[in-house]
Structure 1
Amino acid sequence: MTRFRTALFALLLTFGAAGCSSLPSQTSAAIVGSGTFVSETGESIRADYRDNETVTLTLANGQTTTLDQAVSGSGARYVRGAEEWWEHQGEATLRRNGTVVFSGKLSR
């Protein structure tokens, strides 16, 4: 019986480790588009759109946040928790808890 438990444990450990290594990583997803959005006050946010349907935002202070693509009637919309990034025709808005914390235009 001990031999069976040892073999079962080794099998579960092997398959568990293999399963974890195949999970997609947000940092390994390729960037398919990016842009810098600038507010009227000069604040900027860089948006890196990735091939795994996420966007990584780099804020002016260097902080990053990654949001998941969501349904949008128009434009591109990404959410995670209380944060929402919505981009449409070169203009973008970042909301936290429904409050606009950034609004800017794509820098050309």
Structure 2
Amino acid sequence: MLEQVEIRRRIRAAMALADISSWDELARRVPLSRSTVKDLGTPRGRAEETHLRVIAAACDVPYSWFTVPDLRAAVAREDEEPSLVERVEALEGRIEAITKQLSAGGM
């Protein structure tokens, strides 16, 4: 399994793809407690397989989104439309930019 830091990043990316704007909104879409979902967004939260499976379903991404090292491999399918790969690449770039911005700001 991936490191928790990477899993948190991927949860946020899945939420963005699903147009879920907050941890509260995600909590309303999954059968997990609000506090569990909110903890997953912090370093103290530990995402378990069961958490990731329901989040994957709610965000309409495959479970492999949270398990494979190469995110492109998680969404690759033979009949895949190029637009999904492009969206994932764009999203990864945006998340990287936000992460750098937050790091520069001391957050």
With the shorter chain as reference, the TM-score category is: under 0.3
Give the structure with the larger strand fraction.
Answer: 1
TM-score by length of 2: 0.25
TM-score by length of 1: 0.24
Give the structure with the larger helix fraction.
Answer: 2
* Larger of the two Rg values belongs to structure: 1
Which of 1 and 2 has higher RCO (CA within 8 Å, sep 6+)?
Answer: 2
